[in-house]
C-alpha cells in the first residue's frame, strides 16, 4: 500500500484537509509529515510515494500584499525537494494567486504560482471551468454525506454570510448596501481585530445586521444557516477559484446567492438556480433578494451529491494518483 503524506493536517476551523485525507485513504496509508524522518530519507536518497501539498504558495506574498522574494525562493526550494524525493508530488491549487495580494502585485504573484506549478508532478484544481494546461480536475468534497435533494432553508427575509471574516472579502461593502428591511448575520472567525472593530462600527446603528465572531459548533452553524433564506457569497475577486463556504452550504442543503465566477456560473448551470443563483454585481444581488417576486427560484437539475459526492471525488483522485 502506498504511503500518502498530506500537508497541512486538518484543523477545527478547516475540515477540508480531514475530508481529503479520508478520501485519499482509499488509495494508501495517510502519513503525518515528520521533519526528522523526511531529512533522514533525503540523506539516504530514499524516495517516498506521494506528497499532497496545499497553500504553501501563500508564502510568496508578504503581509503588505506585495511579493516576498525570500518567500518565493524558499517555497521554490521546497517544491524542488518534493519533486526529487517523492514519486508523485501533487500541488493542490486553491487560488489563482494568494488572497490579500495587492492589485499591483497580482499578475506577478500569478506568474510565480504558475512557475511553482510546473515543478510538481500533478496539479489538482477543484473548478472544472478553471482547468488549464496539465491541471487535473478533482471535485471539492462535501463536508458530510447528505440526504435529500432540495434546499432545506426555512427562513424568510434573513440571510447569512458564513466563513472567515477577512478584509479581502470586502464585507464592509455588503454592510453599507444591505437593505434595511432584511436581516443579515455575518458569522465566522476573525483574526484581524482592527477589521472586526471597523465592521462593528459600521453596524452600530443597524439593528438588522449582526456579527458573530465567537466559535460556533457545527450544529449551531447548520441551524443558523437553515433558519435563514440562504447563504450570500459576495467575494469574487480574480484570485478566487472556489469557495469552501459554498461547499459547506451544499453539504447542509442550503440555498446560495453568489457573485459570478467561472465556477459559480458552472455550478448554477449544473445544479439549477434552486440551489445557487449567480449575479454579476453586488447591487444586482441585493436588489433581487429585496424583491419578493424575484426571491424564490426552483429549477433543480443535478444534486450536489452527483457533482461533489464521495464517489466522484474518489474516482477522480484515482485518476490523478494513477
Q: Can the peptide bond before residue 8 be classed as cis, meaning omega within 30 degrees of 0?
A: yes
Q: Which of 165, 308, 297, 202 is nearest to 246 (CA)?
A: 308
What angle is formed at CA 261 by the lines to CA 159 and CA 143, rounded to 5 degrees? Answer: 60
Q: What does the block give as the cell for 124?
A: 489538482
**pLDDT at res. 34:** 84
- Per-residue pLDDT band for 205 (boundaries 50, 70, 90) equals confident
Q: Look at 296 and 268; give whichever has higher pLDDT.
A: 268
Ordered alpha helix ranges (H), the chain: 16-24, 35-43, 69-85, 103-119, 171-177, 193-202, 218-226, 244-251, 262-271, 282-290, 304-308, 310-321
> Which sign does the torsion angle of CA 150, 156, 286, 248 carry?
negative
**Lowest-confidence pick of 14-18, 33-37, 192-196:** 33-37
Whole-angstrom Cα distance, residue 154 to residue 142?
A: 21
In 280-292, which positions are buried (b, 16+ CB within 10 angstroms) versus exposed (e)? eebeebbeebeee
**pLDDT at res. 189:** 95
Percentage of the chain lying above the pLDDT 70 cut: 97
**pLDDT, tens digit (0-9, with 9 covering 90-100), for 253-285:** 999 999 999 999 999 999 999 999 999 999 999
Strand order in 256-259's β-sheet?
209-212, 183-187, 158-162, 230-233, 256-259, 276-279
- Per-residue pLDDT band for 294 (boundaries 50, 70, 90) equals low
Percentage of the chain lying above the pLDDT 90 cut: 86
Over residues 128-154, the mean pLDDT reads 92
Please report the DSSP string for 233-280 in residue order.
E----TTBS--HHHHHHHHTT--EEEE--HHHHHHHHHH-TTTEEEES
Q: 146: how many CB neighbours lie within 10 A of its CB?
A: 17
- Whole-model pTM: value is 0.93
Over residues 102-112, the mean pLDDT reads 97
Domains and CATH numbers, the chain: 2-143+309-321 (3.40.50), 158-302 (3.40.50.2000)
Residue 125 phi, psi (nearest 5) = -135, 145
Model confidence at 298: pLDDT above 60:
yes
Model confidence at 299: pLDDT above 90:
no
Amino acid at each position: 500500500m502506498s504511503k500518502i503524506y498530506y500537508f497541512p493536517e486538518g484543523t477545527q476551523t478547516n475540515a477540508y484537509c480531514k475530508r481529503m485525507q479520508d478520501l485519499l485513504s482509499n488509495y494508501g496509508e495517510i502519513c503525518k509529515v515528520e521533519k526528522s524522518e523526511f531529512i533522514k530519507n533525503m540523506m539516504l536518497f530514499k524516495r517516498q510515494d506521494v506528497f499532497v501539498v496545499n497553500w504553501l504558495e501563500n508564502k510568496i506574498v508578504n503581509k503588505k500584499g506585495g511579493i516576498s522574494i525570500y518567500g518565493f525562493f524558499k517555497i521554490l526550494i521546497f517544491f524542488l525537494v518534493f519533486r526529487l524525493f517523492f514519486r508523485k508530488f501533487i500541488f493542490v491549487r486553491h487560488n489563482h494567486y494568494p488572497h490579500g495580494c495587492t492589485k499591483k502585485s497580482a499578475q506577478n504573484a500569478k506568474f510565480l504560482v504558475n512557475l511553482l506549478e510546473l515543478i510538481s508532478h500533478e496539479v489538482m484544481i477543484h473548478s472544472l471551468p478553471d482547468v488549464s494546461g496539465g491541471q487535473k480536475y478533482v471535485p471539492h468534497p462535501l463536508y458530510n454525506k447528505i440526504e435529500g435533494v432540495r434546499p432545506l432553508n426555512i427562513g424568510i427575509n434573513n440571510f447569512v454570510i458564513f466563513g472567515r471574516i477577512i478584509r479581502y472579502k470586502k464585507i464592509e461593502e455588503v454592510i453599507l448596501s444591505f437593505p434595511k428591511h432584511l436581516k443579515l448575520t455575518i458569522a465566522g472567525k476573525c483574526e484581524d481585530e482592527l477589521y472586526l472593530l471597523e465592521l462593528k462600527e459600521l453596524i452600530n446603528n443597524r439593528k438588522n445586521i449582526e456579527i458573530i465572531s465567537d466559535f460556533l459548533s457545527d450544529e449551531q452553524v447548520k441551524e443558523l444557516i437553515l433558519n435563514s433564506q440562504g447563504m450570500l457569497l459576495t467575494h469574487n475577486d480574480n484570485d478566487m477559484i472556489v469557495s469552501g463556504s459554498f461547499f459547506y452550504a451544499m453539504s447542509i442543503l442550503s440555498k446560495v446567492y453568489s457573485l459570478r465566477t467561472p465556477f459559480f456560473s458552472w455550478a448554477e448551470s449544473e445544479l439549477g438556480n434552486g440551489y445557487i443563483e449567480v449575479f454579476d454585481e453586488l447591487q444586482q444581488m441585493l436588489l433581487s433578494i429585496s424583491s419578493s417576486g424575484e426571491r424564490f427560484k426552483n429549477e433543480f437539475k443535478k444534486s450536489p451529491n452527483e457533482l461533489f459526492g464521495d464517489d466522484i471525488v474518489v474516482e477522480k483522485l484515482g485518476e490523478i494518483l494513477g
